[in-house]
């Protein structure tokens, strides 16, 4: 029903453009993640979903803990809501790009927030 209402309200061209934008946004996020030394793209984006991991240098054995903590810490701080998932038994982070008003710059800022929170989680292990 929601899809039908969206289709009727927006029209097929506008709805298609919005969907295309969210898919392009996921591809952009994947490119940013792929170029970061401390992030690992787990797989190519599927539609509007990007699955990746924060990989802290020197903390490889603690990576699952850190990837579990990042989403909760961001929510607790009130700055972002990102998903979690597991791929082949490893804890991963998940972005689902669904808001057509989101820009590439917004996505870049979100990825930097994730990286910053990952560094904080890794530092907490060293400095309890």
Residue 108's domain is classified under what CATH number? 3.90.1150.170
Measured torsion, CA atoms of residues 11, 108, 122, 81, in degrees rounded to the nearest 10: -30
pTM of the predicted structure, to 2 decimals: 0.88
Residue 2 lies in a domain: no
Residue 78 lies in a domain: yes
> How far apart are the C-alpha atoms of 8 and 37, rounded to whole Å?
44
Q: Does 120 map to a domain?
A: yes
Q: Is 90 inside a domain boundary?
A: yes
| Domain presence at residue 6 | no
Q: Based on the structure, what is the number of domains in the chain?
A: 1
What is the spatial distance between Cα 42 and Cα 63, in angstroms, rounded to a whole number? 14
**Residue 12 belongs to some domain of the structure:** no
Q: Can you give the residue range of the structural domain that contains 87?
A: 22-126
pLDDT truncated to tens, each residue of the chain (128 aa)?
666 777 677 778 887 888 899 999 999 999 999 999 999 999 999 999 999 999 988 766 789 999 999 999 999 999 999 999 999 999 999 999 999 999 999 999 999 999 999 999 988 765 55
């Amino acid at each position: 029903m929601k899809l039908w209402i969206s289709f009727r309200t927006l029209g097929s061209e506008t709805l298609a453009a919005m969907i295309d934008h969210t898919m392009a946004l996921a591809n952009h996020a994947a490119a940013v993640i792929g170029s970061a030394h401390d992030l690992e793209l787990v797989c190519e984006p599927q539609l509007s979903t990007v699955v990746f991991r924060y990989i802290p240098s020197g903390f490889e054995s603690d990576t699952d803990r850190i990837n579990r903590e990042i989403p909760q810490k961001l929510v607790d701080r009130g700055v972002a809501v990102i998903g979690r998932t597991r791929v082949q038994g490893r804890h991963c982070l998940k972005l689902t790009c669904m808001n057509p008003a989101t820009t590439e710059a917004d996505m870049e800022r979100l990825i930097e927030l994730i990286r910053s929170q990952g560094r904080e989680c890794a530092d907490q292990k060293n400095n309890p």
